[in-house]
């Protein structure tokens, strides 16, 4: 029974109609749960909608907790490990603010009102029910080393550029944070124009930073695109093998 529940609440297989219905239903519930946040209204209908969606999220969380051993695959330890996994934390953060808001006693504690903003985490629950997003997540896992190298290059170049420009124009960039901010917007070729180099040397550095930024920004896009195409090809190949 628990194994079948796990199969249903996980991402739907091609032939599992019940699981597919569950995935679609949860995506609809997630979207509906965002209406009370977006509309900033306390109408009776939206309050009822908040209660219903929260109840469904709690039920989903309980089902995932009781089938955690199938997900984590660490025996009895799975039930202790699962609550600390990223998606379980997102599930809890999306539920907790509504539960606190419902509880009249806790509502008196103003500090807990800050937790209501955490309801926006509900949008991240969609990740679990979308195959495309799951594929992108797999791409990031497989290309983690390459992306970390590119990220390291970007951070290194930002820090070096900031050190160079702050030494050339200390009056334009009074703090190192200002120099880092300038280097970041230059690297990403955004250039807000609120802080910029004024000397010839500073402008030359800015040009190099912007040109180099084009290459840095393009590298992750190429890596992710290539990885996504590999995932698509593997997915099609697995479907063809299953049909045969």
Domains and CATH numbers, the chain: 2-129 (1.20.120), 144-243 (1.10.287.70)
- State residue 59's pLDDT score: 92
Residue 110 reports pLDDT greater than 50:
no
- State residue 241's pLDDT score: 59
Lowest-confidence region among 10-19, 33-42, 63-72, 101-110: 101-110
Per-residue pLDDT tens digits for 7-27 = 888 765 667 788 888 888 888
Q: CA-to-CA distance for 217 and 139, rounded, in angstroms?
A: 17
What's the DSSP call for residue 193? Answer: S
Which residue do the tokens 């698509």 mark? 232
Residue 40 reports pLDDT greater than 70:
no
Residue 64 reports pLDDT greater than 50:
yes
- State residue 62's pLDDT score: 92
Residue 191 reports pLDDT greater than 80:
no
Q: CA-to-CA distance for 16 and 3, rounded, in angstroms?
A: 14
pTM summary value: 0.55
- State residue 202's pLDDT score: 84
Closest Cα to residue 14, out of 236, 228, 232?
236
Q: CA-to-CA distance for 13 and 29, rounded, in angstroms?
A: 20
The stretch 73-98 carries a mean pLDDT of: 84
Closest Cα to residue 51, out of 65, 66, 32?
32
Q: CA-to-CA distance for 184 and 153, rounded, in angstroms?
A: 12
- State residue 30's pLDDT score: 81
């Amino acid at each position: 029974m628990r194994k079948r529940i796990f199969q249903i609440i996980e991402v739907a297989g091609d032939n599992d109609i019940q699981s597919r219905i569950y995935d679609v239903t949860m995506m609809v519930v997630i979207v509906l749960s965002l209406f009370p946040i977006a509309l900033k209204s306390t109408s009776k209908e939206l309050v009822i909608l908040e209660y219903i969606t929260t109840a469904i999220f709690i039920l989903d969380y309980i089902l995932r907790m009781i089938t955690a051993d199938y997900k984590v695959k660490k025996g009895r330890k799975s039930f202790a490990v699962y609550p600390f996994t990223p998606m379980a934390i997102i599930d809890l953060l999306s539920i907790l603010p509504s539960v606190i808001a419902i509880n009249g006693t806790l509502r008196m504690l103003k500090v807990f009102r800050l937790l209501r903003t955490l309801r926006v985490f509900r949008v991240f629950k969609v990740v679990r029910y979308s195959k495309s997003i799951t594929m992108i997540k797999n791409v990031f896992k497989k290309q983690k080393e390459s992306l970390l190298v590119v990220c390291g290059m970007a951070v290194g170049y930002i820090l070096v550029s900031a050190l160079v420009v702050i030494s050339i124009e200390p009056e334009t960039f009074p703090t190192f944070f200002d120099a880092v901010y300038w280097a970041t917007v230059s690297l990403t070729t955004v250039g807000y124009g609120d802080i910029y180099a004024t000397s010839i040397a500073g402008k030359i550095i800015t040009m190099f930073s912007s040109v180099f930024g084009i290459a840095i920004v393009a590298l992750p896009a190429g890596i992710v695109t290539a990885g996504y195409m590999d995932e698509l090809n593997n997915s099609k190949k697995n479907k063809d093998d299953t049909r045969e």
